Structure 1
Amino acid sequence: MDKNLKRMATMNRMQMTGLELFYAQGYYNTSIDDILKSLNLSKGAFYYHFQSKEEFFISIVQNLVFRKVYTMLIEPIEGVENPLRAIEICLDDALKTAEFNDLDYGFVLANFLNEFNGRNDKITRYLTDISKVWEVNLVTALQKGKTDGFVERHVDSEGVASFIISSYFGVRSLMVSGNCKILRYNYIQQLRNYFRSLSPVVLA
């Protein structure tokens, strides 16, 4: 295998394992020794690829966390005709995935934002950037929906986007220890009712 490809494969394996540990245990409760033990790597091998635990985590945020959020919550509503319906389906699908995940510890982005808030401004900025990309995507979809007649023109797109993000963060936290099926059902029903109030057309 080409040396660069081998290095990339090793880094990806490290990042995948690191994300699993940080997600389950939290950043501050996970030591480099925990990571090395899970990967069966030496400290020298770790520091060959990353200068610090913080740099390692940032690489995970930039690659895996962003990719996860983009694939699950951003890409499905890009360029859609009816944004309200697309957002509803997108969030329901994401909640269904969480519902059937036996190792669910909450929404990864929200968890990390909560953990680093007030403790590490540098990492918080990287995480906030992902949230901002999601917010901009929602606003763009809603604005297009106004133009295309699927969203009432008086609707505050920025306000709706903020509500969607904060409510999703909240229901995902509740699902960790609550009845996932009922929480998902109730959330989607209320979201659908809310979206009906924003639309000049009848949502199926």
Structure 2
Amino acid sequence: MGKAAETRMTILQKAFELIYINGYQATSIDDIIATTKVTKGAFFYHFKNKEEMGLAVINEMMQQTMGKMLLEPLLTAENPLMAIYHMMEYLLMQEPYLHIKYGCPTNNLIQEMAPLNENFSKALTKIMDDVLQSIEKAVERAKTSNLVRADVNSKQVAIFVSASYGGIRNLGKLYENADYYRAYLNELKDYFNRLE
């Protein structure tokens, strides 16, 4: 990776952290510059404005990381339902960049920016489409392997799992108590057992 690419990645990583903690609207270009030690000229060399930078955070960091680390393994797992469960467990209990008091970065941006900015809404919809489709495909694979009943509606499972994850992240954020996560994971496991 060349110096320009490293600078761009540094900006995106720090922007992601600040947006996750403070929200997109409360994070200024000056905040990002101050914490990255890049010049204003360097920032504007890579991004013409804050919106372009915010969309790059979504498209280049959040979506790609989610796809490679979390969603792709669902499509090849021996037991797709357990893979979904372990993905949720990892996101809630183990992922070092996700903190209980800040909730889910994707959820936060959906709530904050989707109603206000069409470009953000489209980018965030793409992330959620990928999540829903990957879970749906994983459940379909589980059905063909006789790990899930044939009558189970894979799309509905995907919607339920995604929506319940967003909801539990919000409860964790509000109460700052991982016991809510543990209760969710127990219920999720029971739910998956009922699909067999």
Instruction: Give the corresponding residue for 2:195.
Output: 198
Deviates more, 1:16-25 or 1:92-101: 92-101
Instruction: Give the corresponding residue for 2:78.
Output: 81
Shift of 1:76: 3.3
CA distance in 2 between counterparts of 1:192 and 1:84 reads: 9
Deviates more, 1:32-41 or 1:94-103: 94-103
Instruction: Give the corresponding residue for 2:39.
Output: 42
TM-score of the superposed pair, with normalisation by structure 2 = 0.92
Which structure has the bigger radius of gyration? 1
1:153 aligns with 2:150: yes
CA distance in 2 between counterparts of 1:101 and 1:74 reads: 17
Shift of 1:179: 5.1
- Equivalent of 2:29 in 4, 27, 32: 32
Instruction: Give the corresponding residue for 1:61.
Output: 58
- Counterpart of 2:28, as a letter, is S
CA distance in 1 between counterparts of 2:156 and 2:128 reads: 14
CA pair 150-117 structure 1, distance change in 2 beyond 3 A: same
Q: How does 1:170-181 map to 2 (within 5 A)?
A: 170-178=167-175, 180-181=177-178
1:20 aligns with 2:40: no
Query: Gaps (5+ residues) in structure 2?
Result: none
CA contact (8 A) 2:74 2:84 kept: yes
SS in 2 for 1:180: coil
Query: Gaps (5+ residues) in structure 1?
Result: 200-204
CA pair 99-179 structure 1, distance change in 2 beyond 3 A: farther
CA distance in 1 between counterparts of 2:181 and 2:100 reads: 17
CA contact (8 A) 1:142 1:151 kept: yes
CA distance in 2 between counterparts of 1:50 and 1:125 reads: 19
Deviates more, 1:171-180 or 1:15-24: 171-180
Corresponding pairs, count: 196
1:168 aligns with 2:165: yes
Instruction: Give the corresponding residue for 2:104.
Output: 107
CA distance in 2 between counterparts of 1:180 and 1:100 reads: 17
- Counterpart of 2:118, as a letter, is D
- Counterpart of 1:181, as a letter, is A
Instruction: Give the corresponding residue for 1:202.
Output: none
CA contact (8 A) 1:78 1:137 kept: yes
- Counterpart of 1:19, as a letter, is F
TM-score of the superposed pair, with normalisation by structure 1 = 0.89
SS in 1 for 2:178: helix
Percent of aligned pairs with the same amino acid: 31
CA distance in 2 between counterparts of 1:119 and 1:24 reads: 19
- Counterpart of 1:77, as a letter, is L
Instruction: Give the corresponding residue for 2:120.
Output: 123
CA distance in 1 between counterparts of 2:163 and 2:99 reads: 24
CA distance in 1 between counterparts of 2:114 and 2:142 reads: 34
Shift of 1:72: 4.7
Offset from partner CA, 1:43-70 (integer Å, 9 cap, x none):
2221111111000111111111113322
- Counterpart of 1:58, as a letter, is L
CA distance in 2 between counterparts of 1:69 and 1:111 reads: 15
